[in-house]
Amino acid sequence: MPLMKVAEKIAGTAALEAVPDRRTLRTKRALREAFAQLVEERGLSGFSVSELSERADLNRGTFYAHFRDRDDLLRCYEDEIVADLLLFENRLRQVKLRELLAARLSGKPPAVAVELFDVLREHGVLLRALLGERGDAAFQTRIRDGVCANLVRVVLHSKYRDRPTPLTEYYIAYYASGALGLIQRWLERGMAEPSEQIARILLTVLFLKPGDPIELKGGESK
C-alpha cells in the first residue's frame, strides 16, 4: 500500500478513536456543570440522579456508565480538585519568607501563588458550589486544613514550621480559615480579579497588621 494511503488510513483510524474521547469529555463537562448548578440551587441532597441527568441533557444510563452513584461522582470531583492542588504542596514549602517579604514590597506575588489561583479558577464553577453555603462542609474542611494551611505555613519562620507549638497551630488554624474565606469570597464575586491580583490580595492580607492601611502595593483592588 502506498505510504500516502497508509498515512490516510492511520489518520482516519485515529480520528475515529478520538470520537469517544471527545464524547466522554462533553458528557463529563455537562454533568459537572449541571451538578454545580443543582448544588447551588438545592444543596447536595436536594436532587436525584434522574434530575441531574435531565439537567445535563443526558440519560441515566450515560450517568451510570461513568459513576456508580451520586456519592461516587462527588468523590471523584473532589479528589480531582485536591489532586490538582496537592501538586503545589512541595513548591509552596520551598518558598522562603524573605521571598514573600520582597514580593510584598514589590507588589508582585510569587509565581506559585499565581499558578495556584489559576488552578482554582479552572475548577471555579464547581468550587463555588462545593465551598458555598449549600456545598460540602467536609470538603471545605479538607481545603482549609490542606491548601489553606499550607499557604499560611509559607509565611512562618522555619522554626515555627519545623517545631510548631500549640500557639502556632492556633495561628495556622486562624489564618487558614481566613484564606478559605478569601477564596470563597473571590468565587462568589465570579473570580472578578485576575489570578495575579487575587494572589497579591492574599499576600497583603497575610502580612497585614492592625492599624495598617488596607491597600495593595501599586494600587487598590476595584
- Residue 100 near residue 157, CB atoms below 8 Å: no
Q: Percentage helix, strand, coil, to 5, in the chain?
A: 75, 0, 25
145 SS3 class: helix
37, amino acid identity: Q
Which of the two residues, 18 and 28, has the higher pLDDT score? 28
Is this prediction's pTM over 0.85? Answer: no
What's the chain's average pLDDT?
A: 87
Q: How far is CA 157 from the centre of its chain?
A: 26
pLDDT in tens, 71-86: 999 999 999 999 999 8
CB 68 within 8 A of CB 37: no
Buried b (16+ CB within 10 A) or exposed e, 73-111: bbeebbeebeeebeebeebbeebeeeebeebbeeebbbe
Query: What pLDDT, in 10s, does the model give residues 166-188?
Result: 999 999 999 999 999 999 999 99
Q: Residue 95: what are its φ and ψ, rounded to 5°?
A: -75, 130
- Please tell me the distance from the alpha carbon of residue 65 to that of residue 79, in angstroms, as a whole number: 19
Quickly list DSSP for 45-75: TS--HHHHHHHTT--HHHHHHH-SSHHHHHH
pLDDT tens for 30-72 read: 999 999 999 999 999 999 999 999 999 999 999 999 999 999 9
